[in-house]
Amino acid sequence: MTFEPADRVDQVPPSGIRRFFELAEEMDDIISLGVGEPDFTAPWAAREAAIASLERGRTSYTANRGKRELRERIARFEADKHELPYDPDEEILVTAGASEGLDLAFRALMNPGDAIAVVQPSYVSYVPDAIFAGAAVVDVPTRSEDEFKLTRDVLESSGAAEADALVYCYPNNPTGATMTGDELAEVAAFCREHDLVVFADEIYADLTYEHEHTSIATLPGMRERTIVFNGFSKAFAMTGFRLGYAMGPPEAIEAMNRIHQYTMLSAPTTAQYAAIEALDSCWEEVQEMTSQYDRRRKYVLSRFEDMGIDCFEAAGAFYAFPKCPWDDADEFAEALLQEEGVAVVPGSAFGEGGSGHLRVSYATGLPDLKEAMSRMESFLE
């Protein structure tokens, strides 16, 4: 008897990011624009609240759904900032990162054989999560000529109408694309017509630079068919705390909690204390980080323009997604890493529609960003 991975684990394709990570790890002194998390540390007030909670001995489990004080604050924050009123008792579940929430939603709400339309290129966990849930995947590749926005045209031509659910992230990882309320209205209409539920990963909601974020759940007839995922990893720079939340109709949250209560019990307690403080007092820091990202974004886009690299004006998250100057983006990224010590991630690592592009993260201080751009420039010459 030996251990063999179960079939559904075997079905998950190897990660393109992983391969790149291994290449980069072998090299010293690289400048990495391949990082998918903030370069800022979590706000000190939040860190201190975590420390204080430990000093006071707050080391027990919390309620399955998360501390009520935290859920109340999340409810207030979401209502104020994103026009998303949710009931803290029945409609919010605190999770170990948005990642856990997504996994719970797929497993709790999809039956084997149900199909999830996955908008791509996208964050890497949706397809594996779907496979773990036994759901089929319908690839929905967005197009560079649409600046990687999700359009009705793309939904129709990919066969998403036959799916049971749609999952996407906007502002988008890896493209930095955002959707306005008007653009989302088209998507919402499609979902209502074809009776799709929506898993809206809005983890980058507060990192937008050209227009305010709109949640699809605020559009007519959408609240009842949408689960919204958010968390503290990105805007609050708290990735290592592993804290997120899901918001949706009571029956959906109840179903998700039924898995969560057995598999996680409750999200990390220390992190919950930090998150309470983050919501109470750290918004100014979020805004300061956001304006820093915006400056770097402008810097990177302007350098690309001068280098003749074709890149649309990515308006959210902390990524730019330029067209690769070579036909083969994987080869380019590898050569750039080996010759100039600059890491970027080839777009193909993020699924359909990403090939021929590069994900360039600007979650890096300006001095490094400047040096990386200059190296890229000399590499091209």
Partner 1 sequence: MSSRREILDLLRENARYTTEDIARQTDFSVEEVAAAIEDFEEAGIVRGYQAVVDWGAVETEDERVRATVELNVALDRETNYGDIADRIAKFPEVTSLRLVSGDYDFDLEVEGDSMREVSHFISDKIAPIPEITQTVTHYIMESYKEQGMEFGDRDDDDRLSVSP
Ligand X SMILES: Cc1ncc(COP(=O)(O)O)c(C=O)c1O
Q: How far is the CB of 361 from ligand X (least distance, A)?
A: 10
Q: Is 323 exposed, middle or buried (0-12, 13-18, 19+ CB in 10 A)?
A: middle
User: 138 and 302 in contact (C-beta within 8 Å)?
Assistant: no
DSSP secondary structure string for all residues of 120-155: ES--TTHHHHHHHTT-EEEEEE--GGGTT---HHHH
Check residue 265 for interaction with partner 1 (CB under 8 A).
no
- What is the C-alpha to C-alpha distance for residues 70 and 242, in angstroms, rounded to an integer? 15
239 binds ligand X (CB under 6 A): yes
Q: Is 370 an interacting residue with respect to partner 1 (CB under 8 A)?
A: yes
Q: Does 45 bind partner 1 (CB under 8 A)?
A: no
Query: Is the link from the previous residue into 346 a cis peptide, with omega within 30 of 0?
Result: no
- Least Å from the CB of residue 378 to ligand X: 30
132 binds partner 1 (CB under 8 A): no
Q: How many of the other CB atoms lie within 10 Å of CB of 298?
A: 13
Please select the residue that binds ligand X; options are 36, 43, 66, 346, rule is CB under 6 A.
Answer: 36
Q: Measured from the CB of residue 374, what is the shortest distance to ligand X in angstroms?
A: 27
When asked if residue 25 is in the footprint of partner 1 (CB under 8 A), the reply is yes
Query: Which positions from 75 through 134 interact with ligand X, judged by CB under 6 A?
Result: 97-99, 123
How far is 188 from 225, CA to CA, in rounded Å? Answer: 10
The single residue among 86, 106, 123, 321 that binds partner 1, judged by CB under 8 A, is 123
Query: CB pairs under 8 A, 24+ apart, for 50-59?
Result: 50/241, 50/270, 50/271, 50/273, 50/274, 52/273, 53/269, 53/270, 53/273, 53/274, 54/270, 58/269, 58/270, 58/273, 59/269, 59/270
Closer by beta carbon to partner 1, 254 or else 377: 377
Structure tokens at 291: 């304006």
Distance (Å, whole) CA 81 – CA 45: 21
If one asks whether residue 316 binds ligand X (CB under 6 A), the answer comes out as no
Q: Does 290 bind partner 1 (CB under 8 A)?
A: no
Residues 294-333 that bind partner 1 (CB under 8 A): 295-296, 298-299, 302-303
> Exposure string (b/e) for 202-211, b if CB count within 10 Å is 16 or more?
bbbbbbbbee
Closest CB to partner 1 among 125 and 151?
A: 125
Nearer to ligand X, 123 or 293 (CB): 123
Backbone angles phi, psi at 167, to 5 degrees: -125, 135
CB of 193 to ligand X, least distance (A): 26
375 is a site residue for partner 1 (CB under 8 A): no
Contact 218, 193 (CB under 8 A): no
| Binding span for partner 1 by CB under 8 A among 17-25, 86-94, 189-197, 215-223 | 17-25
Shorter beta-carbon distance to ligand X: residue 36 or 346: 36
Q: Where does this chain bind partner 1 (CB under 8 A)?
A: 15, 17, 20-21, 24-25, 30, 32, 34-37, 39, 41, 123-125, 173, 295-296, 298-299, 302-303, 343, 345, 366, 370
Q: Where does this chain bind ligand X (CB under 6 A)?
A: 36, 97-99, 123, 169, 173, 201, 203, 231, 233, 239, 244
